[in-house]
Structure 1
Amino acid sequence: MKSSIFIAVFLVANTASASSLCSAVSGAKVVAEDGTYLGEITDEYASDSILNEYGTHGSEYSAESIWNEYGKYGGEYASLSPFNSYASTPPRLIKNGQQIGLLTTNDYLQSPVNPYILKTCEFY
């Protein structure tokens, strides 16, 4: 609970640097509202990483990738997609067994983390 509150305050305040955000979400699992595991926020070489463009969860062609713009988890109009600015059910970010935020471009939801920012992160 403490980490959830910290992340919420951290994200709403928008005073911390992008590197602090990257550190806060590093290792978080991305889980769709329907329970589908969509990968992990980690370095681009990890097999489960959403940043591994050759992996199941990072490929623009994979059905289980947020980067598949035609899929139900990545489409601009898909209700489960982080890229639908109006979606109320974007993927959840889970770290240490607790939800720490939502992966979404919808700034009106609590604890939003924009997926595009993750592409600027350096995870080791």
Structure 2
Amino acid sequence: MARTVQQVNKKKQKKLLPKFTKKTTKRTKPGVRSLREIKFYQASTNLLLRKRPFMRLVREVTQKLSLQAHFWQLTALEALQEAAETYLTHLFEHSNLAAIHAKRITVFPKDVQFILRIKEDDL
């Protein structure tokens, strides 16, 4: 006689799934996104400020300074915007260096004021 293997009959249990399964999202380390943005903006040559709001600001300032109507050429506004962005970029770069020198990560208004005082002496 051949041996027969006896198997225990287990009832198939229904797996209980939760009603709402929570998807796990991939988390990146803090600072990775900001470093990606820095690389992107350093590689690009596009203007950072939008053109229309900058144009409105320039026109508003010129209206407050003089009563006469001033008309701006598009190339003049673009040159002014380019110069303003370059100035602000350098100001923030130097302010960041001042914050790093003070052993901080965050740039405070006092860093910007400090850099403006130093630049004032250079003029």
TM over 0.5: no
TM-score interval w.r.t. the shorter chain?
A: under 0.3
TM-score (norm 1): 0.25
More helix by percentage: 2
Query: Which structure has the larger Rg over C-alpha atoms?
Result: 2
TM-score (norm 2): 0.26
User: Per residue, is there more strand in 1 or in 2?
Assistant: 1
Of structures 1 and 2, the one with the larger relative CO (CA 8 A, separation 6+) is 1
